[in-house]
Structure 1
Amino acid sequence: MNALVYRGLTLFFKNKQAVVGSFIGAFIMIGLYVFLLGDSMIKQLSMLSQPQLVIDTWMLAGVIGIVSASSTLGSVSQLIRDKERNVYTDFMISPISKKHIMLGYFLSTFFISMFVTLGVILVSELYIVFISNGALLSFKQFGLLILASLLTVLCSSAFMFFIASFFRRIDTFSTMTSIIGPLLGFLTGCYVPIGSLPEATRNVIQYFPLTSGIVLIRKILTENAFASDSPKIALAVQKELGIVMNYQHDVLIPVIILIVSSVLFLGIALWNVKRIELTR
């Protein structure tokens, strides 16, 4: 299984298109912020003491969340390529347990996404401190941010692995990923402030599993930006931006949602792979 994980890591980072593709969602987010939404959002938050910092941290939290999801698309595609080239079949008829083979694919996807996400976190923190003139995250905040990102990556990897279990051709999967990548930005409330969306859309976003992870990341990354504002005003803005969402005021509930969703998606994916193999 370790060899499969190492193979997945090596093949992904050798594929420049896959690496660049992992950041497409983040590029869209930054483009929307810089060219369309940034200035108007800052003006709307003029009641805050640091509106620029609030929007910067909100945007960067979205970038971290989107990258944690979109980077799994590029890495999980290796499973589809192996299916198309019959490499996957060779693995399946080997003495290695099928469960270990699938976990090898899953763990390589998880580690790739985690490495990419950690890099984006470090760049985001440098941006906040040196460009936005924000405060450096405390050791506790940074630890919580890593934990929230890890759980988000875990859920994203399980979700994408679940989707990939239905595909056997890379061109079909690539078409799907070109749609689902940007769609994730909307489903998690990263491209548009959640408060400006219709109630039905907000409900969909609220109960989408990956939203829980991004809510945690937003809450941690924007905490210092709201430090000097009144709690009442801060809470109103946080609801508008999707930093706090109904039941997700508490940290424990989003964590439970992420863990349970990860187990469910991974369990269904493993069952689906086994089912397909039995019917062949």
Structure 2
Amino acid sequence: MNALVYRGLRLFFKNKQAVMGAFIAAFILIGLYVFLLGDSLVNQLSALSNPQLVVDTWMLAGVIGIVSASSTLGSASLMIRDRERNVYTDFMISPIQKRKIMLGYFLSTFMVSVIITFSVAIVAELYIVFLSKGAFLTLEQAILLFFSCLFTVFCSSAFMFFVASFFRKIDTFSTMTSIIGPLLGFLTGCYVPIGSLPETAQMVVKYFPLTSGVVLIRRVLTENVFTSDNPEAVRVIKEELGITMGGQHELLFPFVLLAISGIVFLAIALWNIKRFEVKR
């Protein structure tokens, strides 16, 4: 299984197109922020002491959340590509347990996302401190950010593995990923503040599992931003921007939701792949 994980990592990072594709959704968010939403959001938050820093941290938290999902797309496609080239069949008739082979594909997807997500998180923190003039995260906040990213990556990887389990042709999956990447930005409330969405869309965003991960990351990155502002105004703005949402005011709930959702997605994906093999 370790060899399969190493193979997945090597093939992904060797493919420059796949690596660049992992950042497409993040580039879209940055473009929306720079050219369309940035100044408007800053003006709307003018009552705060440092609205620019609030918007910067909100946007960068969204970038981390989106990258955790979009970075799994190229790696998850490896299993489909192997199916199409019958490499997957060769693995299945080998002495290695089928469960370990499938977990090898998932773990390579997970590791790819971990590497890229944590790299982006480090860059985001440096941007906040040195360009946006924010404060460094405390040790406690850094640990919380670490686990927030880790749980988000787990849920994202399981979700993408679940999606990939339904495809047999790499061309079809590639077409679908060009839609899924940007769509995730809307489903997690990263492209547009959640409070500005219609009520029905807000419900979809709030109950989409990956949104919990983005909420956690936002809470950590913005924790040092609102210290000198009016508590009531901060509460309203946090709800509007999706920094806190409903039952997600508590820390435990988002972590539990991400873990359970990830396990469910992974279990269904493994069952679906096994069903596919039985049909063959």
1:86 aligns with 86
1-structure distance, mates of 2:75, 2:222: 29
2-structure distance, mates of 1:14, 1:92: 25
Amino acid at match of 2:223: E
2:251 aligns with 251
How many Å apart are 1:95 and its aligned residue? 0.8
Gaps of 5+ in 2: none
2:113 aligns with 113
What are the Cα deviations for residues 40-81 of structure 1, in whole angstroms up to 9, with x where unaligned? 100010000010000000000000000000000011111111
1:188 aligns with 188
2-structure distance, mates of 1:78, 1:131: 38
Structure 1 runs (4+) deviating above 3 angstroms are none
Amino acid at match of 1:224: N
How many Å apart are 1:6 and its aligned residue? 0.3
* SS of residue paired to 1:243: coil
Amino acid at match of 2:7: R
Q: Say whether 1:4 aligns with 2:7.
A: no
* SS of residue paired to 2:186: helix
1-structure distance, mates of 2:25, 2:275: 33
Amino acid at match of 1:206: K
How many Å apart are 1:151 and its aligned residue? 0.3
2:224 aligns with 224
1-structure distance, mates of 2:23, 2:276: 32
Normalising by structure 2, report the TM-score: 0.99
1:126 aligns with 126
2-structure distance, mates of 1:39, 1:114: 32
Task: Within 5 Å, give how 1:94-243 maps onto structure 2.
Answer: 94-243=94-243
Gaps of 5+ in 1: none
* SS of residue paired to 1:226: coil
Amino acid at match of 1:184: L
Normalising by structure 1, report the TM-score: 0.99
What are the Cα deviations for residues 214-239 of structure 1, in whole angstroms up to 9, with x where unaligned? 00000111111111112111111000
- State the number of aligned residues: 280
